[in-house]
Structure 1
């Protein structure tokens, strides 16, 4: 086992700058808030700019298949910036979950289409599904797909769906066009509308099997990678909330003094700084071990999810409370981060489930 490197490389810093500039220009908070309008804003152009112009759709795809040949470390930097902007783009669902599943299954053709950004994919698995606890709800019936998958992230924006299917000899992985006959994608109301969820129903849908007996490992790997990288999105949320709140309490005055000079506020800010700093280490360790295929990768992902998800929620709550009245307004973007943080806290399993899984991984007695 090699030593983990938690520092950001020059390449990762340059990638961060590019993504941050694009999202700051194309995805300001007032635009993101429009996701909650009766006619939600369309961020397809933002996603295409990330996927095609910056080439981020193929970040995890080998160069031989048309991708960038990067690793989970670089993808984690992108996730961190997406969290920092609460950006409503299907990077997690397409460039991570769908792409990793197809790479593990060996479907080079569909991976190539996702890598160049012209096609968007979604893995037909409920977003709350924890790694290692997946059970298929779609089956083969007379050679066609039948069943419903609830709360699928990114399905409404997907061109192709990657569907785990219960076959006669075990789990299979199939690819289906999202517009195929018999496919129904029904958006559902969720707390965080910046990551839309949909129920996907298959009613006698023709499909193409793309795995060679590796479907179970493909789904497990996709969910494991997704959980590891989601910690970086949670870190991005927490950093934005902490930095914004710190700047505010330095400027906001009460009784002739900056409120940040009051001891009670100082203590809360100090506690939050310690949590965000610790979350940085946990998220970076999860990304680094995932990138290296380290034997600690599963442990690191469980640890990061158990810790970072709670830190993101706490940071968002403190952001709202320490901004006082303005933090409670719809116009101020703090609510976007609380909703994203709470949604992320439930994705890929709850913190409690990750702590329980972590205990089994390190042989901690009940």
Structure 2
């Protein structure tokens, strides 16, 4: 966003406490139920096993998340078949998924994919019910990072797309891919239905629990989600939601890393004492707690603002992106160090959390990227 006086006028300044910031009993119950479900079906050994499976996630857990926890319909308006809750409830789900290092496509299909499809005109969203029911898997591309070369044309039987989409999350298994393409009238958002003519090339990624692929599409059926004049605003909304969702997931990662590290420091003995009793270790654990509280405050505040008015949350989301990204990477690195030699090994859970934190940073930008956006929003 350019640094203009209009931008400064529109930039949302912090408020003391948006109403959605106060946790409700329903949110606490959602957190407890989801944490119990993930403790049963998404332990670190289970996560690593399904990450190496054919789809990269557990169909059984995905079914539980969709049918029992309603992750796909939680924040969808009731007129579209959803439950009508908001971003504050999604934040609870994403925090818990970050804690459990969930492989299932909660972030990319249940959150980003479903919300992207809601931008479609009502008469073109025939596949939305199947996405909400978990029968179809939707994903959102990186939306114009400069690496995609996608073009769409309107034929007698509808829109078709040709070109390349890179670094697509769940790209090897997605049934619907939301991407931005050039058209003769301007750039639009499309929902693509990859078929036999689509070539999918799996990428080698840092985080094996979150796969990506490049898609080469030829004459691929597509549905226009936006008009050219609305494309920039819709893309910005999806980008904001992606940053916020990742910030919430990073908060959950920091929470679990602190829990793991405190537990280890209380049981690992040196010189006849738990290492957690040493002052140097206490200070580093306290620093981890500070990272968690900063991340939790930033992500939940941004989610609360977004629940009330997504347009007013842009600055808070940028702050959450900077704070939570930095917190997750620092917490993972510190957890590796405090676990000593075992923390450096692939066998230890901390190693997987480090990879997820670094993967999230690569996907949504590092803290410097988000701080540059903060500067643009406030006109610095």
Fold match, TM over 0.5?
Answer: yes
Structure 1 residues 152 and 40: CA distance shift in structure 2, 3 A: closer
Q: Distance in 1 between matches of 2:29 and 2:277?
A: 35
In the alignment, is residue 352 of structure 1 matched against residue 373 of structure 2?
A: no
In the alignment, is residue 235 of structure 1 matched against residue 251 of structure 2?
A: yes
Q: CA RMSD in A?
A: 2.2
Q: Say whether the 8 Å CA contact 2:207–2:356 is kept in structure 1.
A: yes
Structure 2 residue aligned with 1:172, among 168, 183, 188?
188
* Superposition deviation, residue 111 in structure 1: 2.6
* Superposition deviation, residue 235 in structure 1: 0.3
Q: Distance in 2 between matches of 1:187 and 1:45?
A: 23
Deviates more, 1:291-300 or 1:55-64: 291-300
Q: Say whether the 8 Å CA contact 1:166–1:172 is kept in structure 2.
A: yes
Structure 1 residue aligned with 2:76, among 61, 78, 85?
61
Q: Say whether the 8 Å CA contact 1:57–1:95 is kept in structure 2.
A: yes
1:214-264 deviations in whole A, cap 9, x for unaligned?
333222211211111211100000000011101211222111111111111
* Superposition deviation, residue 206 in structure 1: 2.8
Q: Distance in 2 between matches of 1:296 and 1:64?
A: 24
SS in structure 2 of the partner of residue 205 of structure 1: strand
Aligned match of 1:301 = 317
Structure 1 residue aligned with 2:112, among 97, 100, 118?
97
Write the mapping of 1:133-172 to structure 2, written as runs, cut at 5 A. Answer: 137-140=149-152, 143=155, 144-172=160-188
* Superposition deviation, residue 135 in structure 1: 8.0
Q: Distance in 1 between matches of 2:112 and 2:52?
A: 28
Aligned match of 1:331 = 347
Q: Say whether the 8 Å CA contact 2:39–2:100 is kept in structure 1.
A: yes
SS in structure 2 of the partner of residue 88 of structure 1: coil
Q: Distance in 2 between matches of 1:257 and 1:2?
A: 45
Q: Distance in 2 between matches of 1:112 and 1:39?
A: 25
Aligned match of 1:363 = 379
SS in structure 1 of the partner of residue 172 of structure 2: helix
Aligned match of 2:9 = none
Q: Say whether the 8 Å CA contact 1:151–1:188 is kept in structure 2.
A: yes
In the alignment, is residue 320 of structure 1 matched against residue 310 of structure 2?
A: no
* Superposition deviation, residue 2 in structure 1: 8.0
Q: Say whether the 8 Å CA contact 2:326–2:366 is kept in structure 1.
A: no
Structure 1 residues 328 and 229: CA distance shift in structure 2, 3 A: same
| Structure 1, gaps ≥5 residues long | none
In the superposition, the TM-score normalised over structure 1's length comes to: 0.91
Aligned match of 2:279 = 263
Write the mapping of 1:114-129 to structure 2, written as runs, cut at 5 A. Answer: 114-125=131-142
Aligned match of 2:17 = 3
Q: Say whether the 8 Å CA contact 1:172–1:209 is kept in structure 2.
A: yes
Aligned match of 1:200 = 215
* Superposition deviation, residue 162 in structure 1: 2.1
In the alignment, is residue 75 of structure 1 matched against residue 90 of structure 2?
A: yes
1:71-111 deviations in whole A, cap 9, x for unaligned?
11111111101110111011111122222222123344333
SS in structure 1 of the partner of residue 226 of structure 2: coil
1:257-280 deviations in whole A, cap 9, x for unaligned?
111111110111111111111111
Structure 1 residues 105 and 38: CA distance shift in structure 2, 3 A: closer
Q: Distance in 2 between matches of 1:274 and 1:72?
A: 24
Structure 1 residue aligned with 2:308, among 292, 305, 312?
292
Structure 1 residues 195 and 293: CA distance shift in structure 2, 3 A: same
SS in structure 2 of the partner of residue 105 of structure 1: coil
SS in structure 1 of the partner of residue 316 of structure 2: helix
Q: Say whether the 8 Å CA contact 2:153–2:184 is kept in structure 1.
A: no
| Structure 2, gaps ≥5 residues long | 1-14
